[in-house]
Amino acid sequence: MTTFTEKLREAQGRNRSWLCIGLDPVMERLPKTVLASDNPLLAFGRAIVEATADLVCAYKPNLGFWLAEGPVGLRALQDLIASIPNHVPVILDGKFGDVGHTAAAYARAAFETLGVDAVTANPYLGLDALRPFLAEEEHAVFLLARTSNPSAPDLQDRPVGSHPLYEEVARLAVGWDAAQPGICGLVVGATYPEELARLRELAPDLPFLIPGVGAQGGSLEAAVAHGPTAGGLGPLINSSRGILYASQGADFAEAARAAALILRDQINTERQ
Amino acid sequence: MTTFTEKLREAQGRNRSWLCIGLDPVMERLPKTVLASDNPLLAFGRAIVEATADLVCAYKPNLGFWLAEGPVGLRALQDLIASIPNHVPVILDGKFGDVGHTAAAYARAAFETLGVDAVTANPYLGLDALRPFLAEEEHAVFLLARTSNPSAPDLQDRPVGSHPLYEEVARLAVGWDAAQPGICGLVVGATYPEELARLRELAPDLPFLIPGVGAQGGSLEAAVAHGPTAGGLGPLINSSRGILYASQGADFAEAARAAALILRDQINTERQ
């Protein structure tokens, strides 16, 4: 059995890449050539994956964009995931957080019905909401610590004793991961470079999923500097819109490949 | 335009009910007679709704149980929601919490694609993750304050200054609701009666969605005592498994109706 961490490490090595592409289709932004097909969401997703699968360490579809299109969208997501080469990990960005028996239903949706390798989850409900996702070592959970959005401080910066809440989440995650190393990672927005540095100090061994580079204006430098674990496992540096919509013309897939190549290489240059 | 609060108040009056039924189907627990049909999830859901629509103030499908069955499950949920009488509010329990443009995709999934009246949401990402759900006064968001699960204290009880985090969430919700009254409610587990009382003190005007009665062993007494708003709007007291699976035989719908009637009347007796 390959663990999630092993699969990620292999993908990072094979493609010399810490780039993760967010598969977040929005109907209004799809190229006309794609909209003319029978199944635009699937056609778009497949074209992006075919154009970039040798440049990424992972794909991260966000469930919300597929659900917005209803059952047809969910079917397209399922078919797209099935078409992603098996050696590229897929993280379902669902930010799940529900009570135990419901969390088990979400785990089934993610790992069995959709067939992904890992998910994102929200820490607000505590450990029993995460357990169903942590049952198999081939899977992993990336727990929201510091999100990339402007309102992140509303709750995440509230002081819990001497430190902000997001640090408390990291401490809890380190504890939960200790029982089964490699099963738990953190989501840390590149838009908050100081918090990223602090979280790496607190959680030296947890893989980081880092959104917020690109359209959201986060720091690539901070993502590269503080992204890797003490053991050298690289972060998943996510970009979505900047790659998916690099062109909205008929050349969208080539443009996505070009944008992905530039970002992957920027990351690799920064690593040196 | 009828606001969510008005619709809820009317439903509570018409059916003399504070009972909300959670529509959470699990394939392994469905009656054999239902499993023999072409579309077991829809057949089950419709039979439950037909048997109980005059006894409830709302229905609350939890997205996880439908997603576990993939596109077929999502289609069944969509068809079920379309078949619920228009005067009964439907709350999609999705515990959504994502950055702004993704939250907008979830809002579209909930309000347009599935056609519900309200959703549940997680406060961890702050206000900008909620805004897309708060755009129309016919809709509402029930924000997780104190959840019903055993691990709820992991984060929710952490002291923020002089009070626990879940109180901080209530304070934020009161502020967010002030701009557009009636748009924001709280989810408060009946399994934590003291916290329920405290939250009602802090948020006298916010509608409460109260899970945890029934299978989870929460306090009906506390739910009734602290459930109503200062303005007399009753809580949504949710029960799922105790009603859905009252019988797993061919008489499941009658048994669900009997269980719903008992719980509704217990609530009404407690109100007197």
CB B152 within 8 A of CB B190: no
The pLDDT tens digits for A184-210 are: 999 999 999 999 999 999 999 999 999
- For testing contact with chain A, the best of B67, B80, B240 (most A CBs within 10 A): B67
User: Per the structure, how many domains does chain B have?
Assistant: 1
- Domain span including residue B229: 4-169+177-271
Residue of B nearest to A241 (CA): B101
- Pairing of β B91-96 and β B58-61: unpaired
- Chain B residues inside the 8 Å CB shell of A128: 149-151
Neighbour-count burial for B112-141, b at 16+ CB within 10 Å, e otherwise: ebbebbbbbbbbbbbbbbbbbbbeebbbbb
Task: Extract the tokens encoding B226.
Answer: 């602290």
Average of pLDDT values for A60-74?
A: 98
- CA distance to partner chain A, nearest, from residue B186 (Å): 14
Q: What is the pLDDT of residues A76-88, one digit of tens each?
A: 999 999 999 999 9
Contact A68 B122 (CB under 8 A): no
Closest CA to B232 of B261, B263, B208, B260: B208
Say yes or no for a CB contact (<8 Å) between A68 and B113. yes
* pLDDT for B24 beyond 80: yes
Task: Decide if B172 and A158 are in contact by the 8 Å CB cutoff.
Answer: no
Q: Which of B70, B97, B172 sits opposite A113 (nearest CB)?
A: B70
* Cβ-based contacts of A67 with chain B (< 8 Å): 74, 105-106, 109, 113
Q: Is residue A175 part of a domain?
A: no
Residue B51 to residue B62: CA distance in whole angstroms: 19
Q: Residue A214: pLDDT above 80?
A: no
- pTM higher than 0.80 for the full model? yes
Place of tokens 């964009």: A65
Contact A153 B126 (CB under 8 A): yes
Tell me, what CATH number does A216's domain have?
3.20.20.70
Contact B149 A24 (CB under 8 A): no
| Tens digit of each residue's pLDDT (9 = 90 or more) over B96-151 | 999 989 999 999 999 999 999 999 999 999 999 999 999 888 999 999 999 989 99
For residue A177, being part of any structural domain is answered with no
Predicted confidence (pLDDT) per residue in B154-185, tens digit: 999 999 988 999 999 999 999 988 888 889 99
| Residue A176 lies inside a defined structural domain of this protein | no
| Residue A95 designated active-site | yes
Please give the ipTM for the structure prediction.
0.96
